[in-house]
Amino acid sequence: MSERRFNPAAADGRWQAAWDKAESFKAGQRPGAPKSYVLEMFPYPSGRIHMGHVRNYSMGDVLARFRRMQGHDVLHPMGWDAFGMPAENAAMEKKVHPGGWTRSNIASMKAQLKRLGFALDWSRELATCEPDYYGQEQALFIDLYEAGLVYRKESAVNWDPVDMTVLANEQVIDGRGWRSGALVEKRKLSQWFLKITEFADELLDGLDTLESWPEKVRVMQENWIGKSVGLQFSFKLDAPVGEIDSLEVFSTRPDTIFGASFAAIAADHPIALALAETDEALASFAEECRRTGTAAAEIETQEKKGYDTGLSVIHPFDPTWKMPLFVANFVLMDYGTGAVMGVPAHDQRDLDFARKYMLPVERVVAASGDEAKPVHNEAYVGPGKLVNSRFLDGMTVEAAKAEVIRRAEAEGWGKGTTVWRLRDWGVSRQRYWGTPIPFIHCESCGVVPVPKKDLPVVLPEDVTFDVPGNPLDRHPTWKHVDCPSCGKPARRETDTLDTFVDSSWYFIRFASQPSDKPFDRAEAESWLPVGQYIGGIEHAILHLLYARFWTRALQHIGMIGMAEPFASLFTQGMVTHETYFSTDQSGRTTWYSPEEVVLEGGTAKTRAGNMPIEIGRVIKMSKSKKNVVDPDEIIERYGADAVRWFMLSDSPPERDLAWSEAGIEGAWRFVNRIWRLLGDVDGSATGEDKALDRKLHQTIDGVAKDIEALSFNKAVAKLYELTNAIEKAKPSASRTNAIRTLPLLVAPMTPHLAEEAWAEMGREGLIADAMWPAVDPALLVEDEVTIAIQVMGKLRDTITVAKGTDKATLESLALAAPNAARALDGATPKKVIVVPDRLVNLVI
Partner RNA sequence: GCGGAUGUGGCGAAAUGGUAGACGCAGCGGACUCAAAAUCCGCCGUAGCAAUACAUGUCGGUUCGAGUCCGACCAUCCGCACCA
**Which of the residues 728 through 767 are near RNA (CB under 7 A)?**
728
**Shortest distance in whole angstroms from residue 723 CB to RNA:** 7
Residues 6+ positions from 106 with CB-CB distance below 8 Å: 45, 80, 82, 127
- CA dist 113 and 20 (Å) reads 13
| Residues 772-801, interacting with RNA (CB under 7 A) | 786, 788, 790, 792-796, 798
Q: Cβ closer to RNA: 538 or 636?
A: 538
- CA dist 400 and 331 (Å) reads 25
The backbone torsions φ and ψ at residue 8, rounded to the nearest 5 degrees and listed phi first, read -65, -30
Identify which range of 226-234, 463-471, 589-597, 633-641 contacts RNA by CB under 7 A: 226-234
Residue 705 lies near RNA (rule: CB under 7 A): no
Q: Cβ closer to RNA: 384 or 702?
A: 702
Smallest CA-to-CA distance from 81 within 433, 358, 367 is with: 433
- CA dist 280 and 289 (Å) reads 14
* Cis bond before residue 456 (omega within 30° of 0): yes
Q: Tell me which of 444, 583, 686, 724 binds RNA, using CB under 7 A.
A: 724
Q: Tell me which of 250, 510, 519, 527 binds RNA, using CB under 7 A.
A: 250
The torsion region of residue 307 among left (phi > 0), alpha (psi -120 to 50) and beta comes to beta
Residue 838 lies near RNA (rule: CB under 7 A): yes
- CA dist 193 and 653 (Å) reads 37
Residue 170 lies near RNA (rule: CB under 7 A): no
Amino acid letter, 95: K
Q: Cβ closer to RNA: 256 or 532?
A: 256
Quick count: other Cβ atoms within 10 Å of Cβ 153?
11
**Shortest distance in whole angstroms from residue 752 CB to RNA:** 19
Residue 839 lies near RNA (rule: CB under 7 A): yes
Count the residues of the shown chain that bind RNA, applying the rule CB under 7 A.
85
Q: Cβ closer to RNA: 139 or 647?
A: 647
Q: Cβ closer to RNA: 239 or 662?
A: 662
* 839-843 and 784-791 strand pairing: parallel
- CA dist 367 and 380 (Å) reads 9
Smallest CA-to-CA distance from 150 within 422, 423, 424 is with: 424
| Residues 645-674, interacting with RNA (CB under 7 A) | 649-652, 655-658, 660, 662-663, 665-666, 669-670, 672-673
Identify which range of 19-27, 187-195, 688-696, 710-718 contacts RNA by CB under 7 A: 710-718
Residue 578 lies near RNA (rule: CB under 7 A): no
Residue 323 lies near RNA (rule: CB under 7 A): no
**Taking a C-beta distance cutoff of 8 angstroms, is the pair 433, 85 a contact?**
yes
- CA dist 795 and 701 (Å) reads 30
**Shortest distance in whole angstroms from residue 689 CB to RNA:** 16
Q: Tell me which of 727, 760, 776, 784 binds RNA, using CB under 7 A.
A: 727
Q: Cβ closer to RNA: 468 or 536?
A: 536
- CA dist 118 and 57 (Å) reads 8
Smallest CA-to-CA distance from 461 within 473, 451, 450, 471 is with: 471
Identify which range of 83-91, 627-635, 697-705, 829-837 contacts RNA by CB under 7 A: 829-837
Q: Tell me which of 33, 172, 481, 717 binds RNA, using CB under 7 A.
A: 717
Residue 216 lies near RNA (rule: CB under 7 A): yes
**Shortest distance in whole angstroms from residue 132 CB to RNA:** 35
Q: Tell me which of 163, 255, 347, 756 binds RNA, using CB under 7 A.
A: 347
Q: Cβ closer to RNA: 6 or 44?
A: 6
Give start and end residues of each alpha helix (H) in 660-730. 661-678, 690-708, 712-728
Residue 164 lies near RNA (rule: CB under 7 A): no
Identify which range of 180-188, 213-221, 453-461, 497-505 contacts RNA by CB under 7 A: 213-221
| Residues 514-553, interacting with RNA (CB under 7 A) | 537, 540-541
- CA dist 491 and 477 (Å) reads 10
| Residues 286-315, interacting with RNA (CB under 7 A) | 292, 294, 296, 299-300, 302, 304
Residues 6+ positions from 689 with CB-CB distance below 8 Å: 729, 730, 732, 734, 735
Identify which range of 85-93, 409-417, 477-485, 719-727 contacts RNA by CB under 7 A: 719-727
Residue 349 lies near RNA (rule: CB under 7 A): yes
Interaction pattern, residues 400-429, with RNA; x per rule: CB under 7 A: ---------------------x--------
Q: Tell me which of 76, 253, 475, 735 binds RNA, using CB under 7 A.
A: 253
**Shortest distance in whole angstroms from residue 564 CB to RNA:** 20
Interaction pattern, residues 596-635, with RNA; x per rule: CB under 7 A: ----------------------------------------
Q: Cβ closer to RNA: 448 or 729?
A: 729
Residue 466 per-residue DSSP state: S
Residue 94 lies near RNA (rule: CB under 7 A): no
- Nearest-5° Cα angle at 143, 142 to 144: 90
Residues 6+ positions from 288 with CB-CB distance below 8 Å: 329
β partners of residue 451: none
β partners of residue 587: none
Residues 6+ positions from 468 with CB-CB distance below 8 Å: 162, 163, 164, 165, 180
* Cis bond before residue 773 (omega within 30° of 0): no
Number of helices (H) and strands (E) in the chain: give both, helices first.
26, 39
**Shortest distance in whole angstroms from residue 804 CB to RNA:** 15
Q: Tell me which of 155, 252, 568, 582 binds RNA, using CB under 7 A.
A: 252
Residue 228 lies near RNA (rule: CB under 7 A): yes
Q: Cβ closer to RNA: 563 or 716?
A: 716
Residue 824 lies near RNA (rule: CB under 7 A): no
Q: Tell me which of 110, 474, 714, 740 binds RNA, using CB under 7 A.
A: 714
Q: How many CA atoms lie within 13 A of 735 on its CB side?
A: 22
Q: How distant, in Å, are the alpha carbons of 193, 449, 506, 587 from that of 495? A: 12, 14, 21, 46
**Shortest distance in whole angstroms from residue 843 CB to RNA:** 5
Q: Tell me which of 223, 464, 583, 603 binds RNA, using CB under 7 A.
A: 223
